[in-house]
Copies of this chain bind each other. A is one copy, B any other.
Amino acid sequence: RTLRIGLIPGDGIGREVIPAGRRILESLPSSLNLKFSFVDLEAGYGTFQKTGTALPDKTVETLKNECDGALFGAVSSPSTKVAGYSSPIVALRKKLDLYANVRPVKTTAGNSNGKPIDLVIVRENTEDLYVKEERTTETPEGKVAEAIKRISERASFRISNIAGEIALRRQNIRNGSANPTRDQPMVTITHKSNVLSQTDGLFRETARRALAAEKFSSVFVEEQIVDSMVYKLFRQPEFYDVIVAPNLYGDILSDGAAALVGSLGLVPSANVGDNFAIGEPCHGSAPDIEGKGISNPIATIRSVALMLEFLGEEKAAAQIYAAVDGNLDAAQFLTPDMGGKATTQQVLDDVLKRL
């Protein structure tokens, strides 16, 4: 099987980590019978400054017409408001209907201060406040701005359904391993329906309904109000398995979860649609370390694996995860965000050696 992968480095250290992701794909063992072809694509604030748009049509069309998946690096946000600029990754998620943003957060044996964490945040990726429908009015008392938070039954159902499926799949993997950490798969529904009874209320009810399906009868379903979810995430992260949340809460929770494993530089994500997946490290463009060759490639390498998982290549994914775990547990080649002294290249080489 040959997969065509779009490469969108974006801004800042995106340009340093995406090439590392490509190298991983090119170096997969030939026994897997997987081939890759690549196409370089543009997006980001740099692209906006050059061309007036942060997400050229050509990027979207090429992804739609030619590609099976993609890797997205990071984008810089302008530090003050810039007319006409709008985040290309948010637009891409909607244009390709990548409705699930899947963000696993996991400690490895060598990378845990005690409690083993192994959870995944499944974030709705197309609506909520991210519809970006805003307007501003002038009043005698000054400006008043409003934004729409939109929650639909359809999007809430499909995100909850995929969250349930991910919970089942994780359980299968655990059952096959020597060290299953949990008896029963679990999904935690996050919302704020005590204040937003209609919008978050709809998310909550729909998630309950989706997860009540016969196929999920082995899944334990519980819920947390979002503020309490953040509290519990910090107090007992080892308790959680799959957390499903509307877009904005998912955004906030995944950064919180990343803090628990020590560095955003470790945390991958995949933007997943019905026949497409974009791997994307959770970190930003990190202008402070750009060009120094010390950005952590692990989040991107794991995002490569996550993309492959959702393209049906679970075996290749498992090999990449194992190589990354090997690198982290050995703790010989770690970038500075992890307390080490290695360069991006050294970490990449170490992971490649273990592949």
Interface presence of A353 (CB below 8 A): no
* Copies in the assembly, this chain: 2
Q: A149-B149, A231-B258, A256-B230 are in contact. Are A142 and B130 (CB under 8 A)?
A: no
Interface presence of A145 (CB below 8 A): yes
Docked complex Cα distance between A347 and B141 (Å): 48
Docked complex Cα distance between A90 and B234 (Å): 26
Q: Is the CB–CB distance between B248 and A192 below 8 Å?
A: yes
Interface presence of A144 (CB below 8 A): yes
Q: Could you say which of A157, A225, A231 has the most chain B C-beta atoms within 10 Å of its C-beta?
A: A231
| In the complex, chain A residues 182-227 whose Cβ is within 8 Å of any chain B Cβ | 192-199, 201-202, 205, 225-227
Interface presence of A115 (CB below 8 A): no
Q: Mark A69-92, 1 if CB is under 8 A from B, else 0.
A: 000000001000100001100100
| In the complex, chain A residues 131-182 whose Cβ is within 8 Å of any chain B Cβ | 132, 134-136, 139, 141-154, 157
Contact partners of A258 in chain B: CB under 8 A: 231
Interface presence of A235 (CB below 8 A): yes
Q: Which of B145, B225, B227, B255 contacts A151 (CB 8 A)?
A: B145
Docked complex Cα distance between A251 and B199 (Å): 18
Q: Is the CB–CB distance between B143 and A202 below 8 Å?
A: yes
Interface presence of A259 (CB below 8 A): yes
| Chain B minimum-CB-distance residue to A152 | B144
Docked complex Cα distance between A146 and B152 (Å): 8
Q: Is the CB–CB distance between A195 and B143 below 8 Å?
A: no
Contact partners of A132 in chain B: CB under 8 A: 195-197
Q: Is the CB–CB distance between A87 and B195 below 8 Å?
A: yes
Q: Is the CB–CB distance between A231 and B264 below 8 Å?
A: yes
Q: Is the CB–CB distance between A154 and B135 below 8 Å?
A: no
Q: Is the CB–CB distance between A234 and B231 below 8 Å?
A: no
Contact partners of A129 in chain B: CB under 8 A: 149, 192, 195-196
Q: Please list 17 pairs of residues, one from A and one from B, whose beta carbons are closer than 8 Å in the complex, sorted by A's number.
A: A77-B225, A86-B197, A134-B199, A141-B152, A143-B202, A144-B151, A145-B150, A146-B150, A146-B198, A192-B248, A227-B252, A228-B284, A230-B252, A230-B256, A232-B259, A234-B259, A252-B252
Given contacts A143-B152, A230-B252, A231-B255, list 17 more A-B pairs with CB under 8 A.
A77-B194, A90-B195, A129-B192, A134-B198, A134-B199, A141-B152, A142-B154, A143-B153, A143-B202, A145-B150, A146-B151, A146-B198, A147-B198, A192-B248, A227-B252, A230-B256, A252-B252
Listed from nearest, the 9 A-B pairs whose CB atoms lie closest are: A142-B153, A234-B259, A134-B198, A227-B255, A77-B194, A231-B255, A145-B198, A145-B199, A147-B149
